[in-house]
């Protein structure tokens, strides 16, 4: 039970074969959330003729996918990266991709250091970073500036991704896409300018019920820590963004950290320090939402499972307290 995997591993052998035998001209390597699905819809509108093969990747698997693709001949085709940010050492993969004949375009809205931008810019064909927009919005303005549907997709996605939540459609779709099996359906619908249908509705209602249970369970398991900041740390049972918002409302916290059984954590904060805290623990992200990784021992895993906390809870809360607003 302890070591049971929650999700099936992506079939990398199939992805490798699919790309090697592709008939399309564009490989789109992107993140796995609503922003990424929107960016993918925009790519498919722009490259309807050329054809797009999409790889949805977690932040953690990003370098592995780059490594896989860099072993395949590019033949002048385009590798378009979106909604994924710079990772230390990634330039080696990029150089190899160039040698293999790939055109590389990269669009992202995470925070990059100046030297990272300079380094990557010197290798890739196009780099566009804009922290003021969602990745889908950057893709839409770069690739489909005159397409009405693509612009509307970007509006809805940015509303969700940048936490504005003014458009009711964005909350529904963002939530429905927490189930990865809904990705293709949502993408194909929004490409047609359809943002709501029967399947989206029923998935939404089902997820809402499940999510309410998860949020309650997380609240019961939460530890309230920290001195300068009120930091809530809890095991991760799913729906990190929504659960963090719920904990903030219910427990009046400044920082929320949700820790999964593998040691991966996601962090949200009122002060603009999430990315700084995450960086200390092998991760990164945005000022108000980021993620990282605790190096769990077996004991850490057992304690988290049995007692809903371990040594890392105090560690991250203490580290957060050392950071200025
Ligand atoms: Mn994004």
Domains along the chain? 12-153 (3.40.50), 221-321 (3.10.310)
109 alpha carbon – ligand 1 mean position (Å): 7
Cα distance between residue 61 and residue 188, in whole Å:
25
Place of tokens 């990315």: 275
pLDDT at 26 over 70: yes
Distance 85 CA to ligand 1 centre (A): 9
Report residue 8's pLDDT band, with 50, 70 and 90 as the boundaries.
Answer: low
pLDDT digits (tens, 9 = 90+) for 63-81: 999 999 999 999 999 999 9
pLDDT at 4 over 50: no
Quote the ligand 1 centre to 135 CA distance (angstroms).
5
Q: State residue 5's pLDDT score.
A: 46
How many Å separate Cα 269 from the centre of its chain?
17
What residues flank ion ligand 1 with Cβ within 5 A?
A: 35, 83, 135
Partners of residue 55 on adjacent β-strands:
29
Torsion 131-135-140-142 (CA) sign:
positive
Q: Is 268 in a helix, a strand, or coil? A: strand
Measured between alpha carbons, how far is residue 261 from residues 58, 280, 294, 316 in Å?
Answer: 17, 19, 10, 16
What is the rounded CA–CA span in Å between residue 21 and residue 15? 10
pLDDT for residue 67: 97
Cα–ligand 1 centroid distance for 176 (angstroms):
16
Mean pLDDT computed over 211-232 = 98
CA of 183 to the centre of ligand 1 (A): 15
Confidence check: pLDDT of 304 > 50: yes
**In whole numbers, what is the pLDDT of the chain averaged over residues?**
95
β-pair type (289-293, 78-82): unpaired
């Amino acid at each position: 039970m302890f070591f049971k995997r929650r999700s099936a591993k992506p079939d990398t052998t199939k992805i490798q074969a699919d790309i090697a035998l592709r008939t399309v001209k564009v490989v789109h390597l992107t993140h796995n959330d609503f922003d990424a699905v929107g960016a993918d819809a925009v790519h498919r509108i722009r490259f309807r003729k050329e054809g797009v093969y999409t790889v949805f990747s977690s932040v953690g698997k990003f370098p592995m996918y780059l490594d896989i693709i860099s072993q395949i001949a590019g033949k002048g085709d385009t590798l378009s990266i979106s909604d994924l940010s710079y990772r230390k050492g990634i330039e080696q993969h990029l150089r190899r991709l160039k040698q293999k004949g790939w055109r590389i375009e990269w669009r992202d809205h995470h925070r990059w250091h100046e030297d990272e931008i300079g380094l990557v810019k010197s290798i890739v064909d196009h780099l566009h970073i804009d922290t003021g927009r969602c990745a889908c919005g950057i893709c839409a303005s770069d690739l489909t500036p005159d397409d009405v549907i693509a612009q509307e997709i970007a509006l809805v996605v940015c509303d969700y991704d940048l936490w504005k939540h003014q458009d009711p459609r964005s909350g529904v779709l963002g939530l429905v896409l927490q189930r990865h099996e809904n990705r293709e359906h949502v993408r194909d619908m929004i490409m047609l300018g359809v943002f709501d249908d029967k399947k989206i509705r029923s998935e939404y209602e089902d997820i809402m019920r499940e999510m309410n249970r998860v949020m309650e369970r997380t609240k019961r398991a939460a530890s309230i820590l920290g001195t300068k900041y009120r930091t809530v740390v809890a095991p991760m049972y799913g729906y990190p963004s929504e659960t963090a918002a719920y904990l903030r409302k219910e427990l009046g916290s400044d920082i929320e950290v949700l820790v999964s059984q593998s040691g991966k954590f996601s962090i949200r904060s009122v002060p603009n320090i999430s990315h700084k805290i995450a960086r200390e623990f092998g991760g990164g992200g945005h000022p108000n939402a980021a993620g990282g990784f605790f190096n769990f021992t077996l004991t850490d895993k057992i304690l988290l499972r049995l007692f809903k906390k371990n040594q890392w809870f105090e560690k991250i809360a203490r580290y957060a307290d050392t950071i200025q607003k």
